[in-house]
Amino acid sequence: MLSLHHLHTDERLTLTYRIGARYQPGALRRLNHFLRDFRTGDSIEIDPQLFDLLHDVKARLGQDDGVFEIISGYRSPKTNANLRRTSSGVAKKSLHMSGQALDVRLSRTSTRSVRDTALALGRGGVGYYPKSDFVHVDTGRVRRWGA
């Protein structure tokens, strides 16, 4: 089960996305829409392993009822290109464009703790942005950046 709050749309979603080893197709469709590019309305199939990663982060932190605040989910190529023009921190081949990355916070938890826990899981990239107070997680190769 995951609880999410999208900070740009103010939408909230709580659902069971997997039962045992079986992902729930209806829940995944809802998550794909929830994590759409809020600037364009475009959506893509989000890698379900991202949801497993979020679930495991909150479980390891003892935050079973924690709410993930979504700063960035899917980004269309157009949105990513526009963001690159105004920010040096946006990758040209961002995994946000393939549905493999999220920028998050977890309620009642420091972003440092979220970062440390995601790193300990060792299941993808982890970027730490303390000044902006969020953590990037993705299902790409294992790597880290930020303070």
Nearest CA to 103 out of 81, 79, 74 is that of 74
Distances (CA, A) of 74 to 81, 96, 111: 13, 5, 21
Rounded-to-integer distance, Cα 144 and Cα 125, Å: 6
| pLDDT by 10s per residue, the chain, length 147 | 999 999 999 999 999 999 999 999 999 999 999 999 999 999 999 999 999 999 999 999 999 999 999 999 999 999 888 888 887 778 888 999 999 999 999 999 999 999 999 999 999 999 999 999 999 999 999 999 986
* pLDDT score at 82: 85
Tokens (6 digits) for 4: 């999410």
* pLDDT score at 2: 98
Q: Name residues whose C-beta falls within 8 Å of residue 85's C-beta, 6 or more positions apart in sequence.
A: none
- Contact 99/74 with Cβ under 8 angstroms? yes
Rounded-to-integer distance, Cα 116 and Cα 14, Å: 25
pTM > 0.85: yes
Nearest CA to 70 out of 27, 107, 112, 105 is that of 105
* pLDDT score at 147: 66
